[in-house]
Amino acid sequence: MAHDGPLPSLGDAEAAILRALFTQSPVGLHVLDPELRVVRVNMGTPAMRGVRAEDLLGRYFRDAYPVVSPDDVEERVRRVLETGVPLIEDVVRTRPISGNGAEHSYSVSVFRLEDPDGTVLGVALAVVDVTEREKGRARLRVLNTVRDRVGRTLDVVVTCEELVGALVPAFADAVVVEVVDDVVRGDDPPLSPLPRGTPLRRAAFGSSAGPGQPQAYPVGDVRSLPDPTPYTQALSDLRPRVLRLHAGLPWLATDPARARAIRASGVRTLLTVPLALRGTVLGLISLYRAERLEPFTEDDVEIALQLADHTALCIDNARRYTREHSIAATVQRHLLPRRPVSHTALETAYLSTAKEIAAGSWYDTIPLSSARTALVVGDVAGQGIHATAGMGQLRTVIRSLSAFDLGPDELLARLNDITTHLAAERASLPPADPLHREALTAACLYAVYDPLTGRCTMARAGHLAPVIVRPDGSAQIPDIPDGPRLGTAGGTPFAAAELDIPEGSVLAFTSSPVLSLHLAGGSTLLKGRPPGRGRPLQDLCDEIMYTLPAGVDRGVPMLLLARTRPFPADRVAAWPLGEDLTAVATARALVRDRLAMWGADEDTAFNTELIVSELVTNAIRYGSPPMRLRLIHDRMLTCEVRDASPAAPHLLHARTVDEGGRGLFIIAQLAEMWGTRYAEDGKTIWTEQALPAPPPG
């Protein structure tokens, strides 16, 4: 279309544009001179309503506008004035220009103004209100923070503390998290509606005012909530409540302690959100805002519901872990010995470096024949009840195998076969079974200490290694051949190492390699008096606990200490035996005299003579010289006959017309236990009899 009139001049058009921008544009325009004084303002924007132009013109920028961080904003504006580089869409927070209210957020773009000659005239600020956009972003940041930070541990209380840390001060001025007390202990949460009188634990509290913020109840307090209040109503129907707080609210009288805390803290609005999951009630989140933040809105409620859902799921996961851990700990306490058993020549003490040792860790002290003791430490891979069950299985197997007098290397080989079989059973479970995906492997150290020879034979599967602290205070980790972890296919065979252990030495068995290195490299075991000179063994345990190195996780390692001491020489008797049957009568006489010295009663002496007769006769007829008889007076009365033949005796049931074949059968009837122990140079057949208790007084 043709234009019939004269075109306006460029100067007139620019003037019209400026007039429109400063009178009609929704974008705020502010012009500052080189001294950052207000020269012109667009008064038509919503932010400038109710403000007079004369109240702003001529004032310095930081005095004219209530910017939250004036120093930072002024520095950025001056940088534009000095460099000419524009500042584009910088978000600035301000308080209301007139009256009270919440903070606003503005997107500010700053441009330097110059005349045609390049003279700097000042700066122009284009301002757009982005308060709602920034509020939405802030809510999403809070929600993302909760999702990232809350639930990193499997601890109910820590989860609640993480939630408070994520919400204060970004979303609320004060936050209280209360959890049903049964849930904290790992029990099932109650169904909704929450039964009246159900106790809740105040699990976490946080305030932007710092530690001095008034609280209705201290953290850790357990009590039921007074009824009715917005808190109990939210727990009843599982719906959030938003309230403006003022002194006239009738429900405040129901809970005077909370009313006093609300008045003292100056909070103005409350948002209470239930922690619920699958129709059960886990607890309650109470969020408070003072004048620093505007009252809670429906958008805030929506975000609060999402963060409550996430937190409830994390709390329930932690509850399930707590319950499983409690069950595993209970089972473990019943599977492990109450305390290590000390013997005549071996004093023992046990220490867990945490309230509860790891679910798969175990120790044991097993009395063996001939005054010997087996010392065992093991650690099953995994956590929870499955690791505890695996530990119980392996400990039972070791107890059973130890009765066969196997050497440590052979015992671990048998144990590995059984562990591999148990692992195969796990692998054959249905894929949906969680145990199907958990491989059964374990580390184990098995040692046998013989106080009559002062030697200890050890073998290990996996990384576990003992520490030997000798009477002079020197410590070492002995060189024991590495063996594969139990339950792993293939690998090198197990091998044993035999060590001389001086009397008064301390052997330390632990499930932590770091702790082993610590003990061997100069731990508290080596401080003060040498470990074998009257120092209580439990004191050594305590000192180790007090000075654990930083690399030791206090929730995993356990420690078994054993100190060797001399076996009384007058409670052992040994004699060489002849090669003919006259040695039987000689052996009976020697045993009779020795038992008389030890004060044995007639029944014990008679049974022992009969046992010795059969053992010696069997050795002369079927064994090989040299032969030796030994009596040991310990917790049991042990009779041993040693010969050089590797042939194994067998228990037979003789027929009525047979003249022999009843020897081992008679022994089995008279002795509590009997067995055969093999060595490179022959075998030893032994029996054990219970000794009668000494008369009172």
Which pLDDT score, from 0 to 100, does residue 8 have?
47
Q: Given this model, what pLDDT does residue 239 score?
A: 95
- Averaged pLDDT, 485-508: 87
- pLDDT band of residue 627 (cuts 50, 70, 90) is very high
pLDDT per position as a tens digit, 68-77: 888 888 899 9
Which pTM value belongs to this model? 0.66
Q: pLDDT of 223-237, one tens digit each?
A: 999 989 999 999 999
Q: What is the pLDDT of residues 635-690, one digit of tens each?
A: 889 999 999 988 766 554 444 434 444 567 778 788 888 888 888 888 999 999 98
Q: Do domains 10-129 and 135-325 have the same CATH topology?
A: yes
Based on the number of CB atoms within 10 Å of its own CB, is 117 exposed (0-12), middle (13-18) or buried (19 or more)? exposed
What pLDDT, on the 0 to 100 scale, is given for residue 59? 86
The secondary element (H helix, E strand) that includes residue 322 is: helix 298-335
pLDDT at residue 311, as a whole number: 96
Helices (H) and strands (E) in the chain, counts: 16, 26
Burial class (CB in 10 A: 0-12, 13-18, 19+), 621: exposed
> Quick one: 35 exposed, middle or buried, by C-beta within 10 A (0-12, 13-18, 19+)?
exposed
Buried b / exposed e over 444-459, threshold 16 CB at 10 Å, is bbbbbbbbbebebbbb
**Choice among 280-284, 317-321, 425-429, 690-694 with the minimum mean pLDDT:** 690-694
Is domain 135-325 in CATH 3.30.450.40, yes or no? Answer: yes
**pLDDT single digits (tens) 558-608:** 788 899 988 999 999 999 998 888 889 999 999 999 999 998 888 889 999
Give the CA distances from residue 70 to residues 29, 73, 362, 451, in Å, rounded to whole numbers and listed in that order: 19, 5, 64, 82
pLDDT digits (tens, 9 = 90+) for 13-38: 656 666 666 666 778 888 889 998 98
Percentage of residues in the chain having pLDDT higher than 90: 37
Q: What is the mean pLDDT of the chain?
A: 83
Which positions ≥6 away from 122 have C-beta within 8 Å?
Answer: 31, 32, 33, 34, 36, 39, 81, 112, 113
Query: What mean pLDDT do residues 529-551 have?
Result: 69
The residue count for the chain:
697
Paired tokens of 242: 């938003």
Residue 518 to residue 457: CA distance in whole angstroms: 23
Instruction: Considering only residues 296 and 341, tell me which one the structure prediction assigns the higher pLDDT.
Output: 296
CATH class of 569-690: alpha beta
3-state helix/strand/coil string of 370-427: CCCEEEEEEEECCCHHHHHHHHHHHHHHHHHHHCCCCCHHHHHHHHHHHHHHHHHHHH
For residues 288 and 127, the answer to whether their CB atoms sit within 8 Å is no
**CA–CA gap between residue 504 and residue 532 (Å, rounded):** 4
First to last CA, the chain: 133
Lowest-pLDDT range, 55-69, 113-127, 182-196, 584-598? 55-69
Q: Buried b / exposed e across 634-661, counting CB within 10 Å, b at 16+?
A: bebbbbbbbbeeeeebeeeeeeeeeeee
* CATH level 3 topology of 339-564: Phosphatase 2c; domain 1 (3.60.40)
Q: Tokens standing for 385? A: 């009840």
Q: Read off the pLDDT of residues 240-279 as tens digits, 9 standing for 90 and up.
A: 999 998 878 899 889 999 989 888 888 899 999 999 999 9
Q: Please report the pLDDT score of residue 147 as a whole number.
A: 92
Phi/psi for 694 (5° steps) reads -65, 150
CATH 3.30.450.20 fits 10-129, yes or no: yes
pLDDT at position 493: 85
| CA 508 from centroid of its chain's CA atoms | 24
Domain regions of the chain by residue span: 10-129, 135-325, 339-564, 569-690
What span, in angstroms and rounded, lies between the C-alpha atoms of 282 and 187?
11
- Residue 67 DSSP class: B
Residue type, 176: V
Which helix H or strand E contains 448, and what residues bound it?
Answer: strand 442-450
**Interhelix angle for 298-335 vs 131-149, to 10°?**
10
